[in-house]
Amino acid sequence: MNKPLSSTTRHHAPEAKMTLLAQTPVPRALIALGVPTMLAMVITAVYNLVDTYFVSSLGTEALGAVTVVFPLGQLVTGLGLLFGNGAAAYLPRLLGRGDTATANKVASTALWGSIGIGVVVIGGLLGFIQPILRQLGAVESILPDATTYAVIYLAGSVFAVINVAMNNLFAAQGATATAMVALMVGAVLNVILDPILIFAAHWGVAGAAIATCISQLATTALYVRHVVVGRSVFTFRTREVSAAWAIWSEILKVGLPTLLFQVLTSVAISVTNAAAVSYGPSALAAMGPVTKVMTVGSLIVFGFLKGFQPLAGFSFGAGRIDRLRAAIWASLIASTGFCVVFGATVALAATPIMAAFTDSDDMMIAIGTTALRASGISFSLFGFYTVYSFLLLTMGKALSGCVLGAARQGICFLPVIWILPSLLGLDGVLYAQPVADVLAAMMAAVMAWRLHRSLRETASGYTGSTSEKDPVHES
């Protein structure tokens, strides 16, 4: 990734991306930026669901084993988001100011930093995998399968860290089509390999893990190729990695809240699984499809808003408050409309959806149906909440963004999941996330009102700087 690139091979794609961020009408820019990433996220979410479907054919205990490991995947993904999303929130503002030299330093630091931290954390998880799995709810009957899946999956997950970081860094420069192709190739390959390695090769859950690792490697190879042939605004050279605190602070002030959000997501899933397992293996197994189905919807929203993020950051960095406002309202309408339709569909089709994941476990179907209906209804609030969660971090408002990002599955969820089951039993477990969704949306409404009031006050005479003085200087 350190090959020097000539200006003749680099200038066409970067110039087109800057034109898209600066001049294209907002609705068309959001479609061009958001739809490719959204489609890639759709396929990624679907292949996660298909992965669960194939594993469910191995039985309730195998499905429970993969369900227990899922939070570790969320944690590993958070390492890529720590650097990738942290840098992606800052890079569009730098590009908006024309500071490509600093942008290259930030992007390079983010990529290589994510690889280094990823290797260390993954190694630590592998060293204590069985005690960790027990804490995540793996009872003795599912521990062997959970261990087999986790060891293989985690060993190859350094590529997942790279892919998450690169996805954000490519999206930050407006190259969402490239990110879409890379993710789609990995997703399609996973769907093809799953039945071959799980059933034809008779490798069971190990085959599912190996299929995921091979698919992640293929996506990484595509990102590397695009950098080497000069289709990236950023160079990602190791010599551009910076130790300057000014750069690290800009990455971490958004990256750490993003990591916190991902860790809380992992904790929320783990706590839910641990609460469900006390009601039997069917309750635990039901949580797997419920989580994966709702993840399909949330990843679609995240994918679309990955297109909103560079447009909002670029507009804010360039002092285009009118363009920023237009992007906010267009994103709110599109994401909320989708969430209402998706949530209603899931709620209405909850029973046949759950029936697809088991042949004979009626209790699993009943438990999952209740959870899906409740989650589908509350999902209508997810788009509104997520727009402002993304926006606050993109604008450099780290404290507010951190609080809001931690609300849905931390500040609001954890007290609910601790209290509600003691009052309602299993229903308390199933309704915990929907209740937390409502509380988090109320917090988002308060922060949104304050943010729009601030934008009205600063619209005239805006200088193009963030709410905080940019600390990064050329060195």
Per DSSP, the residues of 325-342 read HHHHHHHHHHHHHHHHHH
User: Among the listed ranges 1-15, 122-136, 288-302, which one has the minimum average pLDDT value?
Assistant: 1-15
- Rounded CA separation 433/269 (Å): 10
What span, in angstroms and rounded, lies between the C-alpha atoms of 368 and 370? 5
Q: What is the pTM of this model?
A: 0.70
Burial of 475: CB neighbours in 10 Å, binned 0-12, 13-18, 19+: exposed
- Given this model, what pLDDT does residue 467 score? 40
pLDDT at 382 over 90: yes
For Cα atoms 30, 217, 260, give the angle at the middle one, nearest 5 degrees: 60
* Chain mean position to CA 331: 18
Q: HSE of 149 in the Cβ direction (CA atoms, 13 Å)?
A: 28
Sign of the dihedral through C-alpha 237, 242, 243, 247: negative
Q: For the chain, what are the domain ranges?
A: 7-458
pLDDT in tens, 98-124: 888 999 999 999 999 999 999 999 999
- Sign of CA pseudo-dihedral 357, 335, 220, 188: positive
What mean pLDDT comes out for the span 287-312? 87
Q: Can you give the pLDDT at residue 47?
A: 67
Confidence check: pLDDT of 51 > 90: no
- Calculate mean pLDDT across residues 342-363: 92
> What band does 16 get if pLDDT is binned at 50, 70 and 90?
low
Q: What distance in Å separates the CA atoms of residue 466 and residue 305, rounded to the nearest whole number?
A: 20
HEC string of 177-198?
HHHHHHHHHHHHHHHHHHHHHH
Q: What does DSSP assign to residue 172?
A: H
- Is the per-residue pLDDT at 369 higher than 70? yes
What are the backbone angles phi and psi of residue 264, rounded to the nearest 5°?
-65, -35
Read off the pLDDT of residues 317-332 as tens digits, 9 standing for 90 and up: 777 888 889 999 999 9
Look at residues 208, 161, 211, 268 and name the one whose alpha carbon lies nearest to residue 65. 208
Q: Rounded mean pLDDT of the chain?
A: 85
Q: What is the pLDDT of residue 459?
A: 67
> Would you say residue 465 has pLDDT above 50?
no
Classify burial at 210, counting beta carbons within 10 Å of its beta carbon; exposed 0-12, middle 13-18, buried 19 or more: buried
CA angle 248, 254, 259 (to 5 degrees): 100
